[in-house]
Structure 1
Amino acid sequence: MERARIDGIDLAYELRGGGAPVVMIHGAQGDKTMFASLASAFADNYRVLTFDQRGSGLSDKPDVPYSIAMLADDTAGLMDHLGISPAHVVGVSMGGMIAQELALRHPQKIRSLVLGCTTAGGPRAVRLGGGALASAYSTQSMTAEERGKALAEAGFSKSYLAQHPEIITSMIEARRQRPIDSRAFARRMKAAAEHDAYDRLPQIHCPTLVIAGRDDALIAWENSRIIAERIKGAQLVVLEPAGHCFWLEQPEQTLDAIASFLASVP
């Protein structure tokens, strides 16, 4: 792991592989480790950057207001620091919101976009009922057991979790090893809640793949359809069965879809 000073804060990152650059942007309470298997697979043919965003993982967690634009600018600054633009940018969940904003604010840094299990936000977003989002993404202080179990039950389809109950244990252990800073997490969730790129999405002109799991209990897959309709020429892939963590439930299909898309980009 390396560290870089970007806009006054330290960001922890890892750069591996060789070839055209690929930047992977994690979700709200994730960190760079959530891309462990995907990054390793792409490092065979690409130079892959994974990093902990402001407020996450081993990066600094200033207790100040955050915005999706701020997190996009952090990403752009890190790309400049490492000299890896333009790049293919892969963002999932909140990372997909950051990727949208990155493409809108820094289009010259984007070779292509992969937007996974995310939303354009705003009043036209498709909201899901139930308590999955509230429990898994609570900004209140929670034990590793509580947060890990809630996220596992919300992030994976019921059928997958029934076949792989060890996921719950794994998620709990991940929270023990990498606890969530509740104040920084609250800042990040407020930034995500204020995200609205719907009206600006037609301004994105780079090749775009939008991908989601049909059984997503956190961000309805229909939001991916909306994004694909708003970005000219965007491709839409909906995996099933698969929940929010589609790349873990359907690793081969995810790898094939993204690899084929990247290979098609001039």
Structure 2
Amino acid sequence: MPTVTRDDGAEIWWEATGPEGAPAVVLVMGLGYPAAMWWRQVPALADRCRVIVLDNRGAGRTGDVVGAPYSVPMMAADVLAVLDAAGERRAHVVGISMGGMIAQEVALAHPERVASVVLLATHPGAAHATFRPEATALLSSRASWTPQEAAEASIPFNYAATTPREAMEDDWAVRLPLATTPAGYLAQLAGTTPWTSLDRLSGLQPPALVVHGADDALIPVENGRLVARSIPGSELVVLADANHVLTTDQTAAVNALILDWVARHSA
């Protein structure tokens, strides 16, 4: 099991799939989710890209390592350490939700390492984001529930009405065996809440694609529009029949968007 050991002793799990020498794409997951939840994307991307995934601190195979609470800059530095371990000088950075915040930070702090960014279902910091009260209540309560309870309660905030229950259960079969602990979840939530990028996004240099579900009930589409407006030259795609987990709701569309974007920015 490949890991990279950070200066503070944290061991960050990562994995690479696809041909060496192909454009590198690193996928960064959201709050409390393991990298395994990219399972619908990795096979589609790995034919043409070297796909790198990692488990953020507090999630998946990395688990509850030192450093809590886990800040966005801390986890962005972990991404760069994984790229170093994978031997990749530059990569396209794709992040969803909290992972989109981490992707923004990587691109802002180290633009020379970033070929482009794809920001899925994300926002520029909680202080500037638009949230529904019921979504905020869900995030605050989730750590006290069992993984199955949290999965069931999150359905209206995660999945589109058109997404079959079977697809949700397929996700849970991948995600729940690697469920974050309450401590890991809270360490991510507490560490990322103070972060903001809004006053820096006008200086984001790598090409940026912002993708959001029209029906996102956890991080409403207004947040994606704000991110796109704030990044000069960015492109915005809003997907119909897509909630927060748009990677499941609109798998084919998301995969095609990423592949096309990477091809366009891999000269």
Same fold (TM over 0.5): yes
Counterpart of 2:45 in structure 1 is 42
- Which of 103, 124, 128 is the equivalent residue of 2:128? 124
Q: CA deviation at 1:170?
A: 3.9
Determine which of 64, 74, 79 is the counterpart of 1:75: 79
- Superposition deviation, residue 6 in structure 1: 2.4
Q: Which residue of 2 aligns with 1:205?
A: 205
Over the matched positions of the two proteins, sequence identity in percent amounts to 33
Q: 1:27 aligns with which of 27, 30, 37?
A: 30
Q: After superposition, give the CA deviation of every residue in 1:155-196 in whole Å (9 maximum; x if it has no partner).
A: 012232xxx123454455445412321112101011222121
Match of 1:140 among 121, 143, 146: 143
Which runs of 5 or more structure 2 residues have no equivalent in the other structure? none
Are the equivalent residues in 2 in contact too, given 1:11–1:54 (CA < 8 A)? Answer: yes
Shift in alpha-carbon separation, 1:173–1:137, aligned structure 2, 3 A: farther
TM-score (normalizing by structure 1):
0.92
The 1:123–1:178 alpha-carbon spacing in structure 2 relative to 1, beyond 3 Å, is closer
Aligned to 1:99: 103
- Tell me if the contact between 1:148 and 1:173 (Cα under 8 Å) persists in the aligned partners: no
Letter in 2 for 1:36: W
Give 1:60 shift.
4.0
- 1:144-223 paired onto structure 2 within 5 Å: 144-160=147-163, 164-170=164-170, 172-174=172-174, 176-223=176-223
Cα distance change of structure 1 residues 176 and 222 upon mapping to structure 2, 3 Å threshold = closer
Question: Which has the higher mean CA deviation after the structures are superposed, 37-46 or 54-63?
Answer: 54-63
Q: Report what 2:10 is aligned to.
A: 9
Within 2, Cα distance between the matches of 1:242 and 1:230? 23
Kindly indicate whether the alpha-carbon contact (under 8 Å) linking 2:16 and 2:86 is maintained by their aligned counterparts in 1.
Answer: no
Q: State the Cα distance separating 1:140 from its structure 2 match.
A: 3.0
Pairs aligned (count): 262
Q: In structure 2, which of residues 118, 122, 129 is the aligned counterpart of residue 114 of structure 1?
A: 118
Partner of 1:123, secondary structure, is helix
**Structure 1 Cα separation of the partners of residues 76 and 16 of structure 2:** 18
Q: Are the structure 2 counterparts of residues 194 and 209 from structure 1 closer, same or farther at C-alpha, using a change threshold of 3 Å?
A: same
What value does the CA root-mean-square deviation take over the aligned residues? 1.8
Unaligned runs of 5+ in 1: none
Contact 1:6 1:78 in 2 (8 A): no
Query: Cα gap change, 1:132/1:122 in structure 2, threshold over 3 Å: closer, same or farther?
Result: closer
> Following the alignment from structure 2 to structure 1, what is the Cα–Cα distance between the partners of residues 239 and 40?
18
Q: Which moved more, 1:174-183 or 1:26-35?
A: 174-183
Change (3 A) 1:60 1:127: closer
- Secondary structure of the residue that 1:66 maps to in structure 2? coil
Q: Which residue of 1 aligns with 2:261?
A: 261
Q: Give the superposition deviation at 1:220.
A: 0.9
The alignment's TM-score, normalised by the length of structure 2, stands at 0.92
Whether the 8 Å CA contact 2:37–2:174 is kept in 1: the answer is no
Q: Which amino acid aligns with 2:250?
A: Q
1:86 aligns with 2:90: yes
User: C-alpha distance in 2, partners of 1:152/1:45?
Assistant: 32
Q: Distance in 1 between matches of 2:174 and 2:253?
A: 25
Residues 243 and 255 from structure 1, CA distance in 2 versus in 1: closer, same or farther, beyond 3 angstroms?
same
What is the CA–CA distance in structure 2 between the aligned matches of 1:252 and 1:174, rounded to whole Å?
A: 19
Structure 1 position 224 matched with structure 2 position 234:
no
> Is this contact kept in 2: 1:31–1:56, CA < 8 A?
yes
